[in-house]
């Protein structure tokens, strides 16, 4: 894919994701989940401190890679949804 086109696609996707996060921050359900996750994060951090340094690094590395993988999957699903929507619109209006 052309570098400029790839950059524009990423800007568009990031913009849409920003819009989504702004909407989520107004969602009572999301805010409750976020609060629970923050609490769990504090507990997990206390437990991590009980591990040896190399063990903490291993656990943190796992979660960092997991987050990167989930982001890549979400980005791929979002882009596919975008392509599917465009394809559907083209099919609907070309009949």
Q: For position 1, what pLDDT does the model report? A: 57
User: Would you say 58 and 48 are in contact if contact means Cβ atoms under 8 Å apart?
Assistant: no
pTM above 0.85, yes or no: no
Q: For position 18, what pLDDT does the model report? A: 82
Q: For position 44, what pLDDT does the model report? A: 93
Q: Residue 50: in which H helix or E strand, if any?
A: none
Encode burial over 39-78: b for 16+ CB neighbours within 10 A, e otherwise.
eeeeeeeeeeeeeeeeeeeeeeeeeeeeeeeeeeeeeeee
Residues of the chain with pLDDT under 50: none
- The residue with tokens 């009980």 is 50
Q: For position 62, what pLDDT does the model report? A: 96
């Amino acid at each position: 894919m052309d570098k400029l086109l790839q950059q524009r696609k990423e800007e568009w996707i990031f913009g849409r994701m920003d819009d989504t996060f702004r909407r989520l921050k107004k969602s009572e359900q999301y805010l409750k989940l976020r609060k629970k996750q923050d609490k769990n994060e504090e507990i997990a951090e206390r437990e991590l401190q009980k591990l040896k340094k190399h063990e903490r690094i291993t656990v943190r590395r796992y979660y960092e890679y997991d987050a990167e993988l989930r982001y890549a999957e979400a980005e791929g699903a979002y882009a596919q949804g975008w392509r599917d929507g465009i394809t559907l619109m083209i099919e609907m209006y070309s009949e």
